[in-house]
Amino acid sequence: MTLTTEAPDVSVLEQDSCEAGDRSGLKAVISAKFLEVAAAQEKALAPLSDDLVLLESGLDSLCFAIIVATLEDELGYDPFTEAEDVFFPVTFGDFVKFYERGR
């Protein structure tokens, strides 16, 4: 896997459909953000998979705050502040699904 400083194209995410292509595009954006923040904060990120427990990812709370804040800037929404129920994702897959539901 090659780490790049270029952000992926999020224009596909601006569509209102929930097709599989949009979901995989959203997951790619989130994955890229995890990699970008880990590199910027000099953290060793565990390989990303749906079952990766976030507490075992190698990232700290500052990294997650940066990820959520920059995803809000790029995607235009923050599911953590918009959700009516309190929910904290446990795995990377949960994190991605939470963003998918927030759309």
Rounded to the nearest integer, the mean pLDDT of the chain is 83
Q: List, as one string, the DSSP characters of 17-62.
A: ---HHHHHHHHHHHHHHHHHHHHHTT--PPPP-TT-BGGGSS--HH
Asked if residue 54 has pLDDT above 70, the reply is: yes
Query: Minimum mean pLDDT among 28-32, 38-42, 52-56, 96-100: which range?
Result: 96-100
Asked, for residue 8, whether it belongs to a domain, the answer is no
In which band, very low, low, confident or very high, does the pLDDT at 55 lie, cut at 50, 70 and 90?
very high
Whole-number pLDDT of residue 18: 46
pLDDT > 70: what percent of the chain?
Answer: 77
Asked, for residue 55, whether it belongs to a domain, the answer is yes
Asked, for residue 3, whether it belongs to a domain, the answer is no
Asked, for residue 60, whether it belongs to a domain, the answer is yes
In which band, very low, low, confident or very high, does the pLDDT at 23 lie, cut at 50, 70 and 90?
low
Number of domains into which the chain is organized: 1
Residue 58, number of CB atoms within 10 A of its CB = 16
CA dist list (Å): 3 to 8, 25, 37, 51, 88: 12, 17, 11, 21, 27
Q: Check which CATH number belongs to the domain holding 36 and give it.
A: 1.10.1200
Asked, for residue 12, whether it belongs to a domain, the answer is no
Asked if residue 14 has pLDDT above 70, the reply is: no
Whole-number pLDDT of residue 15: 40
Asked, for residue 34, whether it belongs to a domain, the answer is yes
Q: Could you list the residue range(s) of the whole structural domain that residue 59 is in?
A: 19-102
